[in-house]
């Protein structure tokens, strides 16, 4: 094991700052509040919801859970979003994804007020993020990767970053955030040729593909920084990342664990975004 990049110290440092910020807002009569819109009862969503409720209660942020049935209609989801958009006491809106197939996700992404879009799902925030505008709300997981670098003082300028995965939730926004920090970024995906060669070229390898232990030691250059965003359950029911942690941690300069890495920072980023929205909206 070289250097372990754990998420908890990052989340703790952020919480210290965020507690002060919520206290200041309360003095100004502003009580930050997040609305979670959850459709159905997927175990992943319920476990993320529990983690959010715990983090927000520690930080003095109110949470309203709008739990909708699995077979909810498009109109009903949009009506609930309109209510949250118009409610002056609600500062942030988070819609759990993926949504059931009968719902039109593109329309739902457009239905969230961009000023309350704390998980960066609206086209307006995506556009700002791709322009490199720091005011954009980035998806929380993508932002959590950057928070890890900031906390552990990992240099990004001019470094070769390879991002595995090109989803709009993780891969692409991470790539844009790191590009905005002057990294030289390559995005790889399931059609990339010679993937192992591309990975070995990386000073920093960010893995977000959703394949248990897919990235093996022969794909990683010695002394690379490895950020594992993946959350997978392997054949034996164990929670693991996209990286073969045991083998890769022997040669990488530093590596994030799963669990306890990037995932542990995501709820703190969400809190940060709700506080930012509350400050802006008032
Ligand atoms: P996704 O939407 O399924 O996207 C996966 C991406 O990986 C796609 O771009 C896909 O390529 C690429 N890919 C799949 N298999 C590949 C392979 N063998 N080689 C190269 N690229 C491959 O997943 P996601 O939502 O981005 O999530 C990715 C991972 O992050 C998952 O494990 C998820 O659970 C985790 N996650 C973690 C957090 C957190 O808080 N830590 C939050 C969200 C997601 P194509 O585009 O070519 O199909």
User: Considering just the CA atoms, what is the radius of gyration of the chain in Å?
Assistant: 19
* Residue corresponding to tokens 């959850």: 38
- Is 244 in the same domain as 176? yes
Tell me which of 210, 234, 242 to substitute to probe ligand 1's pocket, judged by most ligand atoms within 8 Å of the beta carbon.
210
The tens digit of pLDDT for each residue in 40-93 reads: 999 999 999 999 999 999 999 999 999 999 999 999 999 999 999 999 999 999
Are both 149 and 244 inside the same structural domain?
Answer: yes
Cβ atoms of 63 and 53 within 8 Å: the answer is yes
| Residue 248 forms part of a structural domain | yes
Distance 138 CA to ligand 1 centre (A): 17
Domain boundary among 67, 98, 113: 113
Residue from 95, 209, 234 whose mutation best tests the ligand 1 pocket (most atoms within 8 A of CB): 209
Backbone angles phi, psi at 46, to 5 degrees: -65, -35
Residues 240 and 150 in one domain: yes
* Among 87, 95, 114, 82, CA closest to 31: 87
Residue among 119, 111, 117 at smallest CA distance from 83: 111
CA of residue 189 to ligand 1 center, whole Å? 9
Domain-located, residue 60: yes
Residues 151 and 58 in one domain: no
- For residue 109, how far is the Cα from the chain centroid? 16
Looking at the domain assignment, is residue 20 inside a domain?
A: no
Cα of 150 from ligand 1 centre, angstroms: 23
The answer to whether residues 176 and 233 belong to one domain is yes
Token digits of residue 4: 């372990």
Shared domain check, 155 and 108? no
Query: Ligand 1: distance of its center to the CA of 214 in Å?
Result: 11
pLDDT for the residue numbered 282: 84
Same domain, residue pair 95 and 171: no
Contact between residue 220 and residue 251 where contact means Cβ atoms under 8 Å apart: yes
Q: Which atom of ligand 1 is nearest to the CA of 44?
A: 34
Half-sphere exposure of 214 (CA within 13 A, CB side): 22
What CATH number corresponds to the domain at position 164? 3.40.50.720
Q: How far is the CA of 115 from the centre of ligand 1 (A)?
A: 27
Structural domain range at position 182? 140-262
**Is there a single domain that holds both residue 253 and residue 154?**
yes
108 and 145 inside one domain: no
What is the per-residue DSSP string for the chain? --EE--SHHHHHHHHHHHHHHHHHHHHTT---EEEEEEES--HHHHHHHHHHHHHHHHHT-EEEEEEE-TT--HHHHHHHHHHHHH-TT--EEEE-SSPPTTS-HHHHHHHS-GGGBTT--SHHHHHHHHHT-TTS---HHHHHHHHHHHHTT---TT-EEEEE---TTTHHHHHHHHHHTT-EEEEE-TT-TTHHHHHHT-SEEEE-S--TT-B-GGGS-TT-EEEE---EE-TTS-EE-SB-HHHHTTTSSEE--SSSSTHHHHHHHHHHHHHHHHHHH-
Q: For residue 202, is it within any domain?
A: yes
CATH code of 65's domain: 3.40.50.10860
Q: Measured from the CB, is residue 191 less than 6 Å from ligand 1? A: yes
Q: Provide the number of structural domains found in the chain.
A: 2
Among protein residues, the one whose CA lies closest to atom 34 of ligand 1: 231
Query: What are 162's strand-pairing partners?
Result: 186, 205
Q: What string of pLDDT tens digits covers the 282 residues of the chain?
A: 569 999 999 999 999 999 999 999 999 999 999 999 999 999 999 999 999 999 999 999 999 999 999 999 999 999 999 999 999 999 999 999 999 999 999 999 999 999 999 999 999 999 999 999 999 999 999 999 999 999 998 899 999 999 999 999 999 999 999 999 999 999 999 999 999 999 999 999 999 999 999 999 999 999 999 999 999 999 999 999 999 999 999 999 999 999 999 999 999 999 999 999 999 998
Q: How many A from CA of 209 to the centre of ligand 1?
A: 3
Domain termination residue (choose one: 113, 130, 159): 113
Instruction: Tell me the CA–centroid distance for residue 263 and ligand 1, in Å.
Output: 14
Structure tokens at 103: 């719902």
Confirm or reject: Cβ of 173 under 6 Å from ligand 1.
Answer: no
Q: Is 207 in the pocket of ligand 1 (CB under 6 A)?
A: no
């Amino acid at each position: 094991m070289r250097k372990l990049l754990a998420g908890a110290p990052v989340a703790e440092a952020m919480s210290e700052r965020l507690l002060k910020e919520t206290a200041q807002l309360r003095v100004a009569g502003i009580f930050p509040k997040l609305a979670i819109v959850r459709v159905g009862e997927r175990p992943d969503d319920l476990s993320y919801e529990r983690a959010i409720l715990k983090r927000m209660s520690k930080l003095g942020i109110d949470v309203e859970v709008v739990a909708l049935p699995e077979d909810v209609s498009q109109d009903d989801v949009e009506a609930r979003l309109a209510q949250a958009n118009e409610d002056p006491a609600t500062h942030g809106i988070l819609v759990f994804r993926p949504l059931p197939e009968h719902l039109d996700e593109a329309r739902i992404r457009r239905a969230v007020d961009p000023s309350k879009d704390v998980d960066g799902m609206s086209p307006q925030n995506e556009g700002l993020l791709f322009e490199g505008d720091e005011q954009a709300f980035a998806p929380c997981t993508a932002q959590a990767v950057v928070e890890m670098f900031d906390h552990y003082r990992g240099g990004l300028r001019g470094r070769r970053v390879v991002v595995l995965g090109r989803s709009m939730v993780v891969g692409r926004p991470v790539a844009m955030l790191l590009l905005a920090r002057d990294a030289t970024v390559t995005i790889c995906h399931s059609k990339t040729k010679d993937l192992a060669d591309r990975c070995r070229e990386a000073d920093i390898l960010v893995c977000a593909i959703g394949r248990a232990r897919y990235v093996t030691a022969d794909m990683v250059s010695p002394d690379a920084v490895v950020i594992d965003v993946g959350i997978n359950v392997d054949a034996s029911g164990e929670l693991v990342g996209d990286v073969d942690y045991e083998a890769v941690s022997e040669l990488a300069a530093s590596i994030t664990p799963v669990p306890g890495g990037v995932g542990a920072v995501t709820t703190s980023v969400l809190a940060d975004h709700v506080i930012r929205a509350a400050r802006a909206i008032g």
